[in-house]
Chain A
Amino acid sequence: MSRQLAIIVTLVAGVLMVVSGFIKPTEGWGEDVAEWFNILAAIAFVLGAANIAKVHLSKISARDAGWGFSAITLLAFAVTFAVGIMKVGVNPMPAFPNVAMSGEKDAGGSAFWWVYTYVMSPITATMFSLLAFYVASAAFRAFRAKNTEATLLLVAAFVVLLGRTFAGVVLTGWIPADSDWAFLRFENLSTTIFEVFASAGNRAIIIGIALGVAATSLKIILGIDRSYMGSGD
């Protein structure tokens, strides 16, 4: 019964969203439902938190390998959540000094701001920066000009890298900027690659993705694809 109801809910919600995108008087529906969706997504975070707690508490209670790191995860979670929800260290807004919790949750100097600035931001930025090494290492091992396609990929990457660095500008700096051969300067080649070739490739990919998303959405709305219900339908 709940499965039938779920299919009807999907159909109605999906059709309403599609209709609101094409019929002027129903435009507001889309905005309202998008707001409901945001509320549901925020509530869904509770499920995520419960899952984290369940996984890590079971690891701690079973004294599994690395249970200490699970304890650190839970402690970090609890501290961040507590200081954020209670707005620890947040001053009131000057317009409403009588309301102690009127200030922004991440106001400069607050505990939540501290956690974001000195813990979350450095770790995430450093993790992403590590990829510079791994991408370069993978490229060194994988990039081989074995055929036309691989050569094109290699040359495009090389030109873009050089065209956006000082070294590339210096290397082809001897070509006069106002001559007919100026397009051979690395910075101009890099721009042409982005404006013409990469733009064309990206458009083909974007159009392909849009067609794929439209087809998949229709399958879900019409109840043909029910895999989200988790039964393998």
Chain B
Amino acid sequence: MNQKQTWTVIFVVAAALLTIRSFTGPGMAKVYVEDTRVSLKQSGEKEVDGVMKPVYEAVAPGTDGAIEWTAQSQVPPRVYYAAEAADPSQTAIHLSASRTIGVWVAALLTLFIFSFLYRDNPFYKFAEATIVGVSAAYWMVVGFWDTLMPKLFGSLVPAIVTANFMPGLEGKSDYWILVPAALGIMLLCRLNRGLAAVSVIPLAFIVGTTSGLKFVSYVESDLLAQTASTMKSLLVAAPAIGDQPSTGFSMELSIKQALLFIGVVSGLVYFFFSVEHKGVVGKTARVGVWYLMITFGAAFGFTVMGRIALFAARCEFLFDDWLWLIDPTQNRVVVETAVASVNALVGAMASSPWMPALSALGC
């Protein structure tokens, strides 16, 4: 069977299973929202920083002159079921088409990425191309609304910004902001081949400030703080118990402190390449390597745990939010067919010859 046929079979089977799943019981991947009508009307004015600003109060929907919109909040399916059971004609809680489509999009993109475990394929490439475009635009938008709008435009044209985009902003002109504005324009000159040389100046500013800031922060918070934490007495006082003050020193804590000190010093000796690693220096560096190996092993274990947790979260999304096969947070009426399947599986396991062994292991 060639690759095309393999994919065709996978798709046909998956589509058939999803179709069956969609029409079994309450279906799958549905997101419900509750509508709340917000209706506000100006009730007066108050002075804020020397400027009169309107004050609004909530009024009944449909009031003359009120500004209204509908706010939606997501609710668990069980809330929708309860509302439907109480009043089948209610419309306040309803299916959200955009969010339901969103769950399908998220599930398909998740599967597209997982398809890379088989091999590189067009579905993975589609998801990859999408994330490149989306993430670039995402960070541009975040930069625009979180930095450029309040800090640059908010200082250059505060009246326009507060009137149209950020009414809560403390609008004060600050002409020092012209410096980064000018540097920013010079940076954009990089887009023009003839003016590209000008962009070296803002680049120099970025490199210079980063160097200065990093110099101070690394020396303060890493070099000095970590050294100070290491250079402590090797005899550690026993911790106080209740109201009883600490008496004597703790052997366990003292050994730990000594091991910590030896590890830091030997690790630093290993990183010191100005002296040849021979004799005492070589042996100390070797101890440092042992410590570093344990560090890397622990970091590896920790990373694997984190990635597996992420993988479990993605599986939970697929089986809970999308397929509605599990319901760990009791968000909806549990799908009866799934319950029946699980019960059948538990029954089969209980009667299997492996059960005594599993029980002995505490499973």
**Taking beta carbons and an 8 Å cutoff, which residues of A are in contact with B?**
2-3, 5-7, 9-18, 20-22, 30, 32-50, 52, 66, 69-70, 72-81, 84-85, 91-99, 101-102, 105, 108-109, 112, 114-133, 135-136, 139, 148-150, 152-161, 164-165, 170, 173, 192-211, 213-214, 216-218, 220-221, 228-229
Q: A17-B212, A108-B73 provided; 19 other pairs, C-beta below 8 A?
A: A6-B203, A10-B208, A11-B208, A14-B212, A17-B215, A32-B176, A42-B152, A43-B184, A44-B187, A45-B140, A84-B137, A119-B130, A156-B293, A156-B298, A164-B302, A197-B259, A199-B260, A204-B291, A229-B200
* B139 contacts the other chain (CB 8 A): yes
Query: Would you list 17 pairs from A and B whose C-beta atoms are within 8 A, ordered by A residue?
Result: A13-B209, A14-B208, A21-B216, A37-B210, A39-B148, A39-B184, A76-B137, A81-B141, A95-B56, A97-B40, A99-B165, A115-B134, A132-B304, A153-B296, A197-B259, A204-B270, A218-B211
Whether a CB of chain A sits under 8 angstroms from the CB of B222 is yes
Q: Nearest chain B CB to A1's CB is how many angstroms away?
A: 9
- Evaluate whether A41 and B143 lie within 8 angstroms (CB atoms) in the complex, with A73-B132, A217-B212 already known: yes
B317 within 8 A of A: yes
Chain A proximity mask over B97-135: 1 for CB below 8 Å, otherwise 0: 011001101110110011011000000011111111111
* Top-6 shortest CB links A-B: A17-B212, A200-B263, A204-B267, A201-B295, A156-B297, A76-B133
In the bound complex, residues from chain B placing their C-beta under 8 Å from that of A126 are: 109-110, 113-114, 314
- Tell me, rounded to whole Å, the shortest Cβ–Cβ distance linking B169 to chain A: 10
Please determine whether A204 and B264 come into contact, CB atoms closer than 8 angstroms. Answer: yes
Question: Distance (Å) between the CB of A135 and the closest chain B CB?
Answer: 6
**Residue B288 at the chain A interface, CB threshold 8 Å:** yes
**CA of A190 to CA of B175, assembled, Å:** 55
CB < 8 Å neighbour of A152 from B33, B165, B203, B297: B297
B76 contacts partner chain A, Cβ-Cβ < 8 Å: no
B126 touches A91 (CB 8 A): no
Q: Given the known A-B contacts A126-B113, A203-B229, are A102 and B165 also in contact in the complex, defined by CB atoms under 8 Å?
A: yes
Check A101 against B226 for contact (C-beta < 8 Å): no
Answer whether residue B83 sits at the interface, using C-beta atoms and an 8 A cutoff.
no
Contact of A5 among B152, B201, B215, B270 (CB under 8 A): B201
A208 and B268 contact, CB distance less than 8 A: yes
Bound complex: CA A196 to CA B308 (Å): 25
A217 with B215, Cβ < 8 A, contacts A45-B140, A49-B140, A73-B133 known: yes
B145 at interface (Cβ–Cβ under 8 A)? yes
Q: Are A207's CB and B210's CB within 8 A?
A: no
Question: In the complex, which residue of chain A has the Cβ closest to the Cβ of B288?
Answer: A204
Residues of B within 8 A of A196 (CB): 256, 259-260, 263
Given contacts A161-B304, A170-B362, contact A204 B292 (CB under 8 A): yes
| Min C-beta distance of A101 to chain B, whole Å | 5
Which secondary structure dominates where chain B touches chain A? helix
A118 touches B103 (CB 8 A): yes
Docked complex Cα distance between A212 and B295 (Å)? 20
Chain A nearest CB: distance from B9 CB in Å? 23
Q: Would B200 and A18 count as touching, CB distance under 8 A?
A: no
The interface residues of chain A lying within 8 Å CB-to-CB of B173 are: none
Convert B167-202 into 0s and 1s, putting 1 for each residue whose CB lies closer than 8 angstroms to a CB of A.
110000000110111011001101100000110111
Q: How large is the interface on B (under 10, 10 to 19, 20 to 34, 35 or more residues)?
A: 35 or more
Q: Contact partner of A119 among B71, B109, B212, CB < 8 A?
A: B109
Chain A residues with CB below 8 A from B305, complex form:
160-161, 164-165
Chain B positions within 8 Å of A15 at CB level? 212
Count of A-B residue pairs with CB < 8 Å: 443
- Roughly how many angstroms separate A106 CA and B140 CA in the complex, as a whole number? 13
Is B81 among interface residues, defined by CB-CB distance under 8 A?
no
Q: Does B138 contact A (CB under 8 A)?
A: yes
- B249 within 8 A of partner (CB): no
Contact A118 B129 (CB under 8 A): no
Q: Which residues on the A side are within 8 Å of B216 (C-beta)? A: 17-18, 20-22, 30
Tell me how far the C-beta of A212 lies from the nearest C-beta in chain B, rounded to whole angstroms: 9
**B-side contacts of A91, CB under 8 Å:** 38, 69, 71
Are B143 and A42 within 8 A (Cβ)?
yes
Query: With a CB–CB cut-off of 8 A, which chain A residues contact B202?
Result: 40
CA distance A205 to B288 in the complex (A): 11
* Bound form: Cα–Cα A37–B242 in Å: 51
A149, B144: Cβ atoms closer than 8 Å: no
- State the Cβ distance, B330 to closest chain A Cβ, in Å: 22
Given contacts A47-B187, A153-B294, contact A38 B205 (CB under 8 A): no
B269 to chain A, nearest CB (A): 9
Inter-subunit contact A201/B291 (CB<8 Å): yes
Of A125, A197, A204, which one neighbours B268 at CB under 8 angstroms? A204
Mark each residue of chain B from 41 to 74: 1 if its CB lies under 8 Å from any CB of chain A, else 0. 0100000000000101000000000010101111
Establish whether residues B208 and A76, one from each chain, have CB atoms under 8 Å apart when the complex forms.
Answer: no
| Residues of chain B lying within 8 A (CB to CB) of residue A80 | 133-134, 137-138, 141
| Contact call B130/A221, Cβ cutoff below 8 A | no
Is B328 located at the chain interface by the 8 A CB criterion?
no
Nearest opposing residue in chain B for A149, CB measure: B293
In the complex, what's the smallest C-beta–C-beta distance from B157 to chain A, in angstroms?
A: 15
Q: Tell yes or no: B219 within 8 A of A by CB.
A: yes
Instruction: Assess whether B129 is in contact with A76, with CB atoms less than 8 Å apart.
Output: yes
Say whether, besides A97-B56, A119-B109, A207 and B264 are in contact (CB < 8 Å). yes
Contacts of A161 in B (CB 8 A): 301, 304-305
